[in-house]
């Protein structure tokens, strides 16, 4: 905590917050997309890996104000990254990966 302040500062990847905010808007165009936790997190991870991080030091409540000053180009970049990520996850969803692994029998179990 700094001197004379009761508000905690924190380091935030603004891009992660922006991707999370924009995701709801983009999902409206994909009504049949799986919305399980794994698919939603995969979409965000893929999108974030294609975007440059944007770190800010922020007090609680300042993120919204900072987001309002976003350029149209950055919003478009986020939208495109999310759209591409959705297409990747739709083609290769991983939500059944762990369940499929746990139900497969090892060679010893089959005997």
* Each residue's pLDDT tens digit, 10-22: 898 889 989 998 9
Confidence category of residue 57, pLDDT binned at 50, 70, 90: confident
What is the model's pLDDT at position 104?
43
Alpha-carbon dihedral sign for residues 35, 38, 44, 50? negative
Task: Inform me whether the pLDDT recorded for 27 exceeds 60.
Answer: yes
In whole angstroms, what is the distance from residue 72 CA to residue 38 CA? Answer: 29
Residue 6: the pLDDT is 65
Listed residue (36, 53, 8, 56) closest to 97, CA to CA: 36
Mean pLDDT of 82-103: 76
* Comparison of pLDDT for 91 and 95, the residue scoring more: 91
In this prediction the pTM is: 0.73
Q: How far apart, in whole angstroms, are the C-alpha atoms of residue 93 and residue 65?
A: 35
> What is the rounded CA–CA span in Å between residue 68 and residue 91?
33
| Mean local confidence (pLDDT), 69-94 | 91
> What is the C-alpha to C-alpha distance for residues 56 and 36, in angstroms, rounded to an integer?
30
77: closest CA among 12, 14, 15? 15
Query: What average pLDDT does range 65-85 have in this prediction?
Result: 85
Q: Does residue 4 surpass a pLDDT of 80?
A: no
Token pair 């999310």 is found at 82
82 vs 40: CA distance, rounded Å: 10
Domain coordinates of the chain in residue numbers?
Answer: 19-60+72-95
The span from the CA of 59 to the CA of 65, in Å, is 11
């Amino acid at each position: 905590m700094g001197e004379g302040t009761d508000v905690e500062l924190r380091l935030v990847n603004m891009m992660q917050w922006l991707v999370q905010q924009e995701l709801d808007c983009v999902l409206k165009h994909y009504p049949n997309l799986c919305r399980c936790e794994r698919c939603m997190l995969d979409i965000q991870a893929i999108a974030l890996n294609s975007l440059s991080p944007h770190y800010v030091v922020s007090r609680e409540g300042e993120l919204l104000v900072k987001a309002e000053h976003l350029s149209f180009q950055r919003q478009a970049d986020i939208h495109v990254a999310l759209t591409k990520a959705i297409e990747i996850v739709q083609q290769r969803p991983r939500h059944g990966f762990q369940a499929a692994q746990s139900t497969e029998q090892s060679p010893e179990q089959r005997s």
